[in-house]
Amino acid sequence: MSAQRGFTLVELLVVISIIAILSLIGMTVYTGVQTNARVQATKATFDAIYKQIEVGRVLQQKILMQLTGSGWTAGACYGSSGYDVKIVGCEAVLTTAFVTKLGMGALPRDGWGDPILLDENEGEFPAIPCRQDGIWSIHNGLSMAIPFYNCQ
């Protein structure tokens, strides 16, 4: 009688289960790292936008609303269910504000590839002139308040 060599069904199932668990852990870690990278890329984009706004403010001695010619650039991206960058005309309005008016090289995008939104508030309403300008991404609630230019 010859001895048969091989793995039992239970041993194979245990190995497959371990591989599945390790794969799940690896995917979870990868997703977290990827999201963190996107968040950091978005924050870096915010910093670049802020620096460009500051350059425009200093050179032209104007508040952001006067630089872009709008009190709510992101309004072109607002629909019945909230902000949606897929709305027709949204990217064109944002491109005009960021590229044509502020002099950026291209429409700034967040880490997910969607355009950054812009809301010019300082000086928008005479009764409440000191409202904070802001930029934000539609992802993860990422936003940045732009410091006041005239209001202190």
What does each C-alpha distance from 152 to 12, 35, 66, 77 come to in angstroms? 69, 36, 18, 30
pLDDT of res. 2:
66
Query: Taking residues 18-38, what's their average pLDDT?
Result: 93
Residue 152 pLDDT grade (very low, low, confident, very high; cuts 50, 70, 90): low
Question: Domain for residue 2, yes or no?
Answer: no
Question: Domain for residue 151, yes or no?
Answer: no
Based on the structure, what is the number of domains in the chain?
A: 1
pLDDT of res. 140:
83
pLDDT of res. 7:
85
pLDDT of res. 6:
84
- The domain containing residue 77 runs over which residues? 9-146
Handedness of CA 24, 29, 33, 39 (dihedral sign): positive
Predicted confidence (pLDDT) per residue in 83-138, tens digit:
999 999 999 999 999 999 999 999 999 999 999 999 999 998 888 889 999 999 99
Question: Domain for residue 36, yes or no?
Answer: yes
Question: Domain for residue 67, yes or no?
Answer: yes
pLDDT of residue 4 exceeding 90, the answer is no
Q: For 137-151, give one letter per residue: b (16+ CB within 10 A) or e.
A: bbeeebebebebbee
pLDDT of res. 151:
84
Question: Domain for residue 72, yes or no?
Answer: yes
Predicted confidence (pLDDT) per residue in 49-79, tens digit:
999 999 999 999 999 999 999 999 999 999 9
pLDDT of res. 74:
95
Question: Domain for residue 3, yes or no?
Answer: no
Higher pLDDT, 79 or 5: 79
d(CA 28, CA 19): 14
Question: Domain for residue 152, yes or no?
Answer: no
pLDDT of residue 1 exceeding 80, the answer is no
